[in-house]
Structure 1
Amino acid sequence: MYAILAASPDRQIVLRTLDPSGLRNGPDTTTDRSGLPGLVAEFEASHHPRWVWRTAADWYPDLLASGVPLRRCHDLMLCATLLTHSAYAGVFATSFADVEGLASQPGSLPSAAPAQGQGSLFEEPSAQGPSADELEAELAAQLAAVAASAHPGKLRLLCAADSAGALVAAEMQAAGIPWDAQTHEALLADQLGPRPRGFERPARLEDKANELRARLGAPSLNPDSPQELMRALHRAGIEARTTRAWELREFTHPAIPPLLEYKKMARLFAANGWGWLDAWVRDGRFRPEYVVAGVVTGRWASRGGGALQIPKQVRAAVRARPGHKLVVADASQLEPRVLAALARDDAMAAAARDADLYAGIAAAGFGGDRAKAKVALLGAIYGATTGESGRLMPQLARLYPRAVAFVEQAARDGERGLTVTTHLGRSSPAPSERWQRLQRSASAEEQRRADAAARDRGRFTRNFVVQGTAAEWAECWIAELRQQLRRLASRGLHAELVYFLHDEVMVHAEEEAAGACADAVQEAATAAKRLLFGDAPVQFPVSIAVVDSYDQAK
């Protein structure tokens, strides 16, 4: 059963029910905003519907704040976006697709923390959204597009996974990552010095800046200015083209060590310093906003506080509350294992049975040299096919011809301007009009540029199919884990999913529930593999640590 939630022009809330095929099966129910939590809770308990809305952000955060968690939903915006681009679905046109969202840069930070008590759904009416009729029509169009697609089962699963991700994202934001502000303050004081006043640099950071100025002979240098820093480096005979750390390490000048240390300390101060702590940690929790499928491959992004980049220097501040544990898990070497399953390469699948896939590949054909095996395989996935990766590629192709042929075909398709598609049906964007014009150019100079642009696109599509399918596996993993945690809660074992990063999850669990949560994480990984790849002989092992703080897991 589907249950549509929509706001009406007269400030009422409309609940409309549809049967599993999407046909209306009863009269609408209306309520005012104050009555919505009770209505939804009652309907959820009695019917377990799949809730339908334009986007989960319209309703779910406020329902969670009212103590009304939901089992499942159909997020029309997420599903419309993937159907619009999916080669499996053919031509699907809708105004619900978030085309602009995918085109924007993910992870940009707002200037201030989100307001406490997010949303005002139950106090004041928000801007008028789609009507129940419009939502019903869009749902019907999406269900029809999936049913008529080349792979309806896969697209149906992908829509369900993205929609479940929308629920997880809202629940993780509501729960928040447990964060000990005192520990964070102590870490900053240890690494940067006492908390500075106003816009001053912390004492240790200023000391490092003075050391750098002395080494470069530039007493007035502002090391935070790339232009000033570059001029000072050149005057000192350091002919760096950029101030990136990897390039600076190539030089042996005595100014390089303090410069690298300064950059590391300055990054901590800017990204996770006292200003960050004041803005983003409230009541012992860090609550970023997660953006489901925020990048074109289906990976998540975030808005607020850099949630997808918790640096090592402050991980000790991510600390379980008294009587609780953190269950931290990550999928080992996820993308190479996904490639083995996608390509149905039995030889690579055999290597993937070990906990360390690279060691298995090294033993099979690289004389036991794990480093070479890793360079070769990652080069195949990411398109680094020159240098050491290129030299090792023939050996990798002899060992795993199906896997190498799979990514090579994706690269060739991209170079020709074709789209490629993940296992469940998320397709790469079509090439831009500028790219296509360049490919049609005739002059020798423009042809060289066209060839370079084609190779760049081939590297993108080569990785798109692997990274995108890995994102699908991970989303199924957290969706399954979410259901496992709900079942544990029914047994009195309470835990909450608080963090998700590509191939890593963190659960904040009551101490007596931690062991069961660890089992649930592994069972969810097994279920995700079965959902995507059936009985394919590829293992997806998960490393699990039950700890008091995040730094202890890494």
Structure 2
Amino acid sequence: MVNATTSETVADHTPADLAGWMAAFERDEHPRWVLPAVDELYPRLLQVDVRLARCHDLTLAEGLLLAHEGRHGSPRNPGAAWARLHGRAEPEDKPPPAKDAQPALFELDERFYSIDQLVEVYGDQQRRIRASAHPDRVTLLVASESAGALAAAEMSNHGLPWSEEVHLEMLESMLGPRPAPGARPAKLAALAERIAEAFGGRSLNPDSPPSVVKAFAKEGIDIPNTRAWVLKEVDHPAVEPLLEYKELARVWTAHGWSWLESWVHDGRFRPEWVVGGVVSGRWATRGGAALQLPKALRKSVRALPGWSLVVADAAQLEPRVLAALSEDRELAAFSTDVDLYAGLAEDSFDGDRGKAKIAMLSAMYGGTSGGAGPLLAVLRKRFPQAVGHVEQAAQAGEQGRMVRSRLGRTSPYPSERWRSLMERSDGTEEEMRKSRQAARDWGRFTRNFVVQASAADWALVLLVVLRRRLAALAPKAEIVFYQHDEFMVHCPADTADLVAGELLASAAEATGLVFGDTPVQFPLEIATVDSYADAK
């Protein structure tokens, strides 16, 4: 590992107590650590209560820079980066570690060999950042992604406070007592019987979509699949119990008794957060489905006695991001209200908030069906700068070009299959139709990418600013949950107001860092609660 200070000095230390040395150096020198991969090292440091304030993650930085250069998919590890510099074979990235793997604190990684190689990779990354069109933005992106990795490891280490008792009560209330292995819970078994009766007593497996589709076909009803929105359009007595069965079965399989035993220990749920797990920069998780917690399960997220949960949501984040990106001052004027759509409705859609929302979502996602086209035309006429910004991004996608977020996160190029479709200038009418459709589909992706990825930029910067602020002013407070535009802090109850204030200050600081002197407002809706379920 390397420590980079303001003078870019390098030290190579291999003391017997490396963690202790790092703790002392962190306390005395306040460095920015240069680490091969935060997710491999930092969790082990946290186990011995060593915390780092700042770092540069070589693996995450390499992924961002490769994407910026149009090389998505190349190995991102420092060993591969060094090999590329010297024209050598590039080692692949390692798979994620097993959930319960217990490696040594600092085991050698066969992908790179010396601190000199790491220093060389770091220097090359700094050169590539300086050579980018907006080095200040890319610098902020790399720093935030790296600090986000520190926050992610800390969030897993803290864990989300979880009441196993409440969870078990919920499962029994929804599903009945825990079933024997291989059996359905009582309520699912009863619903399965009702479904079979609705089909005249014919045997079928409600967990098998082909079985359900076949059962409807025998009733003279053709359905393409068993998705809820498809079933709701069907008039048949099996639909009601089938929809209920699907909802309860999802709880049983995704968050049932086995999930509780696997993921909740000592009153904490500890998912593994994956920084930049989605191409737009949004986070993902490995195992535990932390980002898909059903509403009923939020009752289980409970603050410890004497503590509180401070939950913050960024209100209608993506329309505000569009206003800031496009520098459309007409649209920015509506950002002063928490409900931006209500203001748009009064201004341009005869007070109909639903129409205003459809128009804005159509602009950002490219939808034109269901009456969206005329509403989008109204929005385009009223806010040409904002709508023009996403339409320009859509055009870039249709032409197979990359687009970037505010800080420089970059969309991938379309696939080779897509390019082969675009090259057919004299194909059949059906081939030309497929070509045009593929172009429009990729244009919708890039249209939304510039907004969603820029929203991810802003949210990530808010998160890492909040982490820094809390470390200075409320060190006992724990960031325990982060999802797109939502943040949760677990803190002593007497510091909840301070934490709420730091959330608001972090949002303001993030706005200035990402968008500069913009008139766009990014309000947070904040709730201090004992249970996550009460925050919504």
Same fold (TM over 0.5): yes
- Which of 455, 460, 485 aligns to 1:470? It is 455
- Which of 482, 495, 498 aligns to 2:467? It is 482
* Kept in 2: contact 1:366–1:373 (CA 8 A): yes
Q: How many residues align?
A: 519
What is the 5 A alignment of 1:223-302?
223-302=206-285
**1:459 match:** 444
Which whole-Å CA distance do the structure 1 matches of 2:214 and 2:18 have between them?
62
- Which of 14, 39, 42 aligns to 1:30? It is 14
* Kept in 2: contact 1:74–1:159 (CA 8 A): yes
TM-aligned CA deviation for residue 427 of structure 1: 1.1
Which whole-Å CA distance do the structure 1 matches of 2:487 and 2:439 have between them?
36
Which whole-Å CA distance do the structure 1 matches of 2:500 and 2:267 have between them?
24
1:551 aligns with 2:536: no
1:197 aligns with 2:187: no
Which whole-Å CA distance do the structure 1 matches of 2:204 and 2:3 have between them?
67
**1:509 match:** 491
CA deviations 1:206-249 (Å, max 9, x no partner) are: 11111111112244211111111111111123321110001111
1:412 aligns with 2:395: yes
**1:11 match:** none
**1:59 match:** 41
CA deviations 1:351-378 (Å, max 9, x no partner) are: 1111101001101100110000001100
- Which of 438, 447, 459 aligns to 2:421? It is 438
User: 2:482 is paired with a residue of what secondary structure?
Assistant: strand
Structure 1: runs of 5+ lacking an equivalent: 6-15, 100-107
Distance change (3 Å), C-alpha of 1:281 and 1:18:
closer
Which whole-Å CA distance do the structure 1 matches of 2:368 and 2:78 have between them?
36
Which whole-Å CA distance do the structure 1 matches of 2:361 and 2:420 have between them?
32
Which whole-Å CA distance do the structure 1 matches of 2:201 and 2:110 have between them?
59
CA deviations 1:70-108 (Å, max 9, x no partner) are: 101101111111111115x99998853899xxxxxxxx9
- Does 423-432 or 90-99 show the bigger shift? 90-99
User: 1:308 is paired with a residue of what secondary structure?
Assistant: helix
Which whole-Å CA distance do the structure 2 matches of 1:543 and 1:64 have between them?
31
TM-aligned CA deviation for residue 53 of structure 1: 1.2
1:158 aligns with 2:144: no
* Kept in 2: contact 1:83–1:92 (CA 8 A): no
Which whole-Å CA distance do the structure 2 matches of 1:220 and 1:385 have between them?
42
1:96 aligns with 2:77: yes
- Which of 103, 109, 119 aligns to 1:136? It is 119
Which whole-Å CA distance do the structure 2 matches of 1:416 and 1:92 have between them?
21
**1:526 match:** 508
**2:296 match:** 313
Structure 2: runs of 5+ lacking an equivalent: 81-94
* Kept in 2: contact 1:109–1:304 (CA 8 A): no
Which whole-Å CA distance do the structure 2 matches of 1:257 and 1:17 have between them?
61
* Kept in 2: contact 1:438–1:450 (CA 8 A): yes
Distance change (3 Å), C-alpha of 1:244 and 1:27:
closer
**Identity between Structure 1 and Structure 2 (%):** 49
User: 2:360 is paired with a residue of what secondary structure?
Assistant: helix
CA deviations 1:419-466 (Å, max 9, x no partner) are: 111111011101211111111113123221111110110000000000
Which whole-Å CA distance do the structure 1 matches of 2:257 and 2:71 have between them?
50
Letter in 2 for 1:20: T
Distance change (3 Å), C-alpha of 1:342 and 1:139:
same
**2:30 match:** 48
1:185 aligns with 2:155: no
Distance change (3 Å), C-alpha of 1:214 and 1:536:
same
TM-aligned CA deviation for residue 522 of structure 1: 1.0
Distance change (3 Å), C-alpha of 1:90 and 1:275:
closer
What is the 5 A alignment of 1:317-336?
317-336=300-319
CA deviations 1:10-49 (Å, max 9, x no partner) are: xxxxxx4445364xx36532213xx012100110011111
Which whole-Å CA distance do the structure 2 matches of 1:97 and 1:388 have between them?
51
Which whole-Å CA distance do the structure 1 matches of 2:260 and 2:73 have between them?
44
CA deviations 1:292-324 (Å, max 9, x no partner) are: 011111111110110111111211001111111
**1:20 match:** 6
1:342 aligns with 2:325: yes
Letter in 1 for 2:193: N
Distance change (3 Å), C-alpha of 1:95 and 1:256:
closer
User: 1:465 is paired with a residue of what secondary structure?
Assistant: helix
Letter in 1 for 2:373: G
CA RMSD between the two structures: 2.1
